[in-house]
Structure 1
Amino acid sequence: MKIAIITGSTREARKSLEIAQWVKELADARGDATYEVVDTAAFDLPVWDSPAAPAWGPSDDPVATAWSEKINEFDGYVFVVAEYNHSLTGALKNALDYLYTELNNKAAGFVGYGSAGGARAIEHLRGILSEQQVAHVRAAAGLSLFHDFENFSTFAPTDGAPGQVLGMLDQLVVWTKAMAAVRAGEFATEKKAA
């Protein structure tokens, strides 16, 4: 079982990569899956402008193909979500606009950060992922700029922060396994002969 920890911000002063690496350390200690940080900034995705939606077929753009292939490797996802203007970042929304089938019937969890722990960004991301047929877990970790960062800039998680991440991962691992069964067709319904 492979789970990606995806950064949600690409700007130079971002904290998402540092937080993603911290989440990976916590996750790796569990030994229940293979976890990998996937940095959206490394893909340098231009603003999505394909003539057809990804649900209708893959893009022939090499950058889009590299992103699609990387995301398709995973069974589940942890999104490290920065809150910008009461929502998720434009960079993460743009990265998700490149995808569809790669995410279908997979599971996701969230680690948000911002003045309200990234809660509003996570809520907006839940709506997007629902459209992409992703089962997202209820538990989420919310890191506060007021408590989990010194001077609003240096990441210094409080004692309770790891527990939030581990609680989210508990649910995510279960749902990732369940969605693998869905993708394998174990829950397909068949019409009974009349």
Structure 2
Amino acid sequence: MPNLTVIIGSTRPGRAGLPIANWLVERAERHGGFTVEVADLAEIDLPFYDEPNHPRLGQYVHQHTKDWSAIIERADAVVFVTPEYNFGYPAALKNAIDYLHNEWRDKPVGFVSYGGVAAGTRAVQQLKQVVTTLKMIPVTESVNIPFHAQFIDGGRVKANEVMEGAADAMLDELLRLDGALRPLREKNDRQAA
């Protein structure tokens, strides 16, 4: 079964990303197409990029980078859970992406965004520019949660039908693209060996 890695992009205390990611994980487990792993950037706590070599070389010297690399290497598909901060996505998320290079390649990626009226969609548009540069394949289907606080009660998300349907559509597409992209990842692995 393919591995889906859900990355919580906000590290801010009291963040909504944690309950939103927990909701998505529960939804993905019910979906049944993936094993699910959570990568919480607040717990991973990467310092600002501190590797002396370009990430495409994979010559990591710090253990935190090696650990982060292993998490993303295990992923067959990725979902970024991100807020929108000032029309963009959090610096911690950009930093985490920039630490690695080849680990992202040929993986489908989905987005769960949240915010005010724009529901985090401007952050996602910026993220798409970054992930396509790393040869990830963004799916069109996404979950965009406007005025997200209304859906969180007691630290848990109370999703509506639109959110649930969007999550299922995104997961279906991630699974479909994983099947299509897996041979490319396997070919890259053979060439790297």
Residue aligning to 2:13: 12
Query: Are the equivalent residues in 1 in contact too, given 2:55–2:101 (CA < 8 A)?
Result: yes
TM-score by length of 1: 0.88
Cα distance in 2 for partners of 1:35, 1:81 equals 18
Structure 2, unaligned runs of 5 or more: 189-193
Query: Are the equivalent residues in 2 in contact too, given 1:8–1:79 (CA < 8 A)?
Result: yes
Cα distance in 1 for partners of 2:179, 2:18 equals 26
Q: What amino acid sits opposite 2:104 in the alignment?
A: L
Cα distance in 1 for partners of 2:5, 2:68 equals 13
Query: Are the equivalent residues in 1 in contact too, given 2:23–2:156 (CA < 8 A)?
Result: no
Cα distance in 2 for partners of 1:136, 1:49 equals 27
Q: CA deviation at 1:160?
A: 1.6
Q: What amino acid sits opposite 2:16 in the alignment?
A: K
Residue aligning to 2:58: 57
Structure 1, unaligned runs of 5 or more: 187-194
Cα distance in 1 for partners of 2:178, 2:99 equals 22
Q: Secondary structure at the match of 2:47?
A: coil
* Percent identity over paired residues: 35
Q: Which has the higher helix share?
A: 2
**Which of the pair has more CA radius of gyration?**
1
Structure with the greater relative contact order (CA < 8 A, sep ≥ 6): 1 or 2?
Answer: 2
Q: CA deviation at 1:178?
A: 1.0
Q: CA deviation at 1:52?
A: 2.6
Aligned length: 185
Residue aligning to 2:119: 117
TM-score by length of 2: 0.89
Q: Secondary structure at the match of 1:68?
A: helix
Residue aligning to 1:43: 44
Structure 2 residue 147 is the aligned partner of structure 1 residue 130: no
Moved more, 73-82 or 46-55: 46-55
